[in-house]
Each structure stands twice: as C-alpha cells, then as structure tokens.
Amino acid sequence: MEIDSGNTAWLLLSAALVMLMTPALGFFYAGLVGKRNALSTLLHSFFVLCLVSVQFVLWGYTLAFGPSQGGLIGGLDWLGLAGVGQEPFPDYAPGVPHLAYMVFQMMFAVITPAIITGAFAERVSFKAFILFTLLWSTIVYAPIAHWVWGIGGWLRVFGALDFAGGTVVHISSGVSALVAALVIGRRLNRTEPHDATMTILGAGLLWFGWFGFNAGSALAANGLAANAFVVTNTAAAMGALTWLTVSWIHRGQPSALGAALGAVAGLVAITPAAGFVNIPASIVIGLGAGTICYLATLLRPKLRIDDALDVWAVHGVGGTWGAIATGLFASVAVNSAGANGLFSGNPELLVKQVTAIAATWLYAGVMTAVIVKVIQLTVGLRVGETDEVLGLDRSQHGEIAYQVD
Amino acid sequence: MEIAAFASFAVLVIAWIVLPIRTGVPVAATKAPSTLPEAVAA
C-alpha cells in the first residue's frame, strides 16, 4: 500500500506533540506540590516517558493493538514490534507506516500512568512508583486500550465512541488515581502549591500538545482533524473561563490556578468527543467541564482521600463527563464513521457510552486496588515518615530543585 | 445547540461584569530564603 506523505507527516508531528505533554504534565504537577517535592514530581513524569517508551515497544503495543484475543486483549504476535514496520497496517491507519501509528499510540500509553502520579505525590517511594507504572501499563492500560481501539475490542465492536482517549486515558487514570490515593493513605502534611507560574506554564504546554492528541487522532491531515483541533481549543478555553468564574462565585476571587485547571478539565472532556461533535457543542462541553470538575474538587475533603493533585476530579470526572457528552452531542454530520447521539435522535449511543464508562471505572478501579495492595505487601508503597517530612527530592534522589545562594 | 453555546458564553460575561472581587484577603506569609540551609530547612 502506498504511503500518504501528508498524513504520515501529520501523525509523526502529532506523536511529537503528545510526547511533549508528559514533561508538560510534570511541570503542571510540580508547581502544585511543595518545593521539597518539586524535582521528584517532575521526575515521575519524565521517568514514565522513558519507562513506558521501552515497555510499549517490547510488549505494550502488542497487548493493546495486536490481533484480538476474544475482544479482551491483543495477542503476542507483535511482541518486540515483530512485524510492525514501514508498511501501513490499513485496519488501523491506511496510508501511514505501521510504526508511525505505533509511536503515536505509544505517547498515549506514556502519559496515562504519568497522570496518576499526581494522586500519590509527595509520599510514594520511587521503587513502588516504578513497579506500579510497569504493572498498571500492562494490566490496566493495555486491555482497556484494546477494548476501545483494538480491532475486535469488545467496546469497539459494541459501538462505544472514544475519539482520543476519554475512557482509555482519562477515566482509567482518574479512577486509578482515586483508588491508589485511598490505599496509599494521606500525606502527613498538606502542602500549598509552591510555584503557580510553573503550573500555568505546564497547562499551556499541555494545551499545545493536546492538538496532537485530539487532532492527530483523525490519523489524517483532513477536515476531521481540523474539526478536532477547533473543538479542542474551544473547550479548553471554555473550561478555563468557567472554572475561573465558578471559583470566583464560590471564593470571591478569580483564581489563576483555577484557569489552568479549568483549561485542562475542558481538554479532558473534549477528548472523547473531538471527532464527533461540532463547535457549539464544544462550548457546552467546556462549560460543563469547568463546572462539574470544580464541584468534584470540593468533594475531596469530604471523601477524606488525599488525591494530592485532584487527578480524579479533573481526569476521572472530566473524562466521564466527556464520554457522556459524546453520547449526547455526537453527530454523523461531523463524522460519518461515528454515530448520532441523543440530541440527534439516537439514545442508544448514550447507553453504549454509559456501558463503556462503567466497564472502565470498574476494571481500572479493581485492578488498580489489586496492584497497589500487592506492592504495599511486597516492597512497600510509602517512604518513611522522616523521609516524607524531609521531602522526596532529598530523601529519594539526594537532590533539591532549587539552589539558593 | 447554537443558542445554548451563545447563552453559555453570555452567562460568563454577565458574571464577570456583576461579580465583585473580594479584596484585602491576606496571602499566606512567604519569605524567600536567602541561604541554602535556610531553603532546605524551610
């Protein structure tokens, strides 16, 4: 099959854009933690980029996208990327090299466990974090990616829609974050964000990278990619504007950090919908994300679960809202390969979306609990109390983020 | 859907016009450490 150079160029560039999101997430998170944990928080994201990049070529890709084993997981045919080469694999992406599709998917697999690190920030041991990332990427991410995007995956066959990872990336990581935070327990001391400017820089870079995440998921340089690009930008903007406004109503002041968190919430929510909804719908989706995710952050103190950086509220709840919104606003006028949603006369899609949400919540939640518990009972999850007070930068890495003279 | 989109944005614009900004809220006192030992101890 002939290679389409335009589509290939766009997909490779999109993979690079998505790659940038993981260090950007590191900056986003590092600004939100105390200064004694800034470096370790940055390292979590950077390390995941390295770790999953290797895991994915060795066995992650074949488990997620290899020939389906009963719709549940991919087979081992592409272990070590055997048979994945420069020729296209048209079932996934016609006209682009199979390797280009693989590396684009790799960047999604990278950022998903990096998102979870925000939940156990400032207290997890580095060893536990490494083990968790490897096990979670293999046991949780790969099967869910296969269900939703793999040829023969049961949710794909069922007809649930997820354009760029609302369920695969955001619900799975958000729910897992909540469970991991519950098992690992609360921090000894809550810290205040030590550098809001770093967080806003991270949010800006995430937003930039998200164009690759969503518009790249069209897998071609075409009108659908343009639609995904514009709805992504619009929802991010509405999420930021809405969160800032709701927090202004609630706390009496417009929050700069709120604008950053709201932009990310908007981006999360539009992710599953980006290739199926039009621009007006993206405004409503962003509005919903800014409101619902802000309200979800207010639940954290009530739940008494120390999800340190509100991963569940932004990614779990935002991803769930996005998946539901896809069932409400999707239209074949935007994407003939998709389906109509409730507001286009098809309530069936909403039922499918809710099924996909429930399956992802359940599987990610249960398996994460098992993984975290096993790590707790073997190598341990947390650093000691003294090390936690000293900060992970110094206690785990023997370094500090800031040299002051 | 277009009406909902315009209405959503209009609600935000109206909120920005009518919402007062609560001023005079004390920010948690922060003092920049001047030495490395002080920074580590902080």
Q: Say yes or no to pLDDT of A404 above 90.
A: no
Interchain CB distance below 8 Å, B16 and A405: no
Give the pLDDT score at A348: 97
pLDDT, tens digit, 9 for 90 and up, residues A166-197 = 999 999 999 999 999 999 999 998 888 999 99
Q: Are A175 and A7 in contact (CB under 8 A)?
A: no
Give the pLDDT score at B41: 53
Tallying the residues shown for chain B, one arrives at 42
Give the pLDDT score at B23: 78
Interchain CB distance below 8 Å, A280 and B40: no
Q: Does A404 touch chain B (CB under 8 A)?
A: yes
**Within 10 Å of residue B10's Cβ, how many Cβ atoms?**
10
Instruction: Say if domain A5-397 classifies as CATH 1.10.10.10.
Output: no
Handedness of CA A232, A24, A29, A353 (dihedral sign): positive
Q: Are A215 and A274 in contact (CB under 8 A)?
A: yes
Return all residues near A76 (Cβ < 8 A) that are at least 6 apart.
A59, A62, A63, A66
Give the pLDDT score at A34: 94
In the chain, the amino acid numbered A329 is: F
Give the pLDDT score at A300: 82
Among the partner residues A192, A242, A343, nearest to B28 by beta-carbon distance: A192
| Predicted-complex ipTM score | 0.81
- Residue A330, CA atoms < 13 Å, CB-side half-sphere: 33
pTM of the model: 0.94
Among the partner residues A251, A283, A404, nearest to B36 by beta-carbon distance: A404
Q: Say yes or no to pLDDT of A285 above 80.
A: yes
Q: Does A248 touch chain B (CB under 8 A)?
A: yes
Report residues of chain B scoring pLDDT below 50. Answer: 29, 33-34, 36, 39, 42
**A·B CB contacts under 8 A:** 59
pLDDT band at A20 (very low <50, low <70, confident <90, very high): very high
Chain A stretch 179-218, residues whose beta carbon is closer than 8 A to a beta carbon of chain B: 192
In the chain, the amino acid numbered A81 is: L
Give the pLDDT score at A132: 97
Give the pLDDT score at A302: 87
pLDDT, tens digit, 9 for 90 and up, residues A26-68 = 999 999 999 999 999 999 999 999 999 999 999 999 999 999 9
Nearest CA to A115 out of A396, A378, A375, A309 is that of: A309
- Mean pLDDT (whole number) for A150-169: 97
pLDDT, tens digit, 9 for 90 and up, residues A288-344 = 999 999 999 999 888 889 998 999 999 999 999 999 999 999 999 999 999 999 999
- Mean pLDDT (whole number) for A69-73: 97
Give the pLDDT score at B28: 57
Among the partner residues B5, B15, B21, nearest to A253 by beta-carbon distance: B21
Give the pLDDT score at A303: 84
- Mean pLDDT (whole number) for A197-226: 97
- Rounded to 10°, the helix A347-378/A172-184 angle is 30
Q: Are A177 and A312 in contact (CB under 8 A)?
A: yes
Please report which residue ranges of A304-344 form alpha helices under DSSP H.
311, 317-329
pLDDT, tens digit, 9 for 90 and up, residues A79-136 = 999 999 999 999 999 999 999 999 999 999 999 999 999 999 999 999 999 999 999 9
In the chain, the amino acid numbered B38 is: E
* Residues of B in Cβ contact (< 8 Å) with A329: 1
pLDDT, tens digit, 9 for 90 and up, residues A215-266 = 999 999 999 999 999 999 999 999 999 999 999 999 999 999 999 999 999 9
Higher pLDDT, B41 or A153: A153
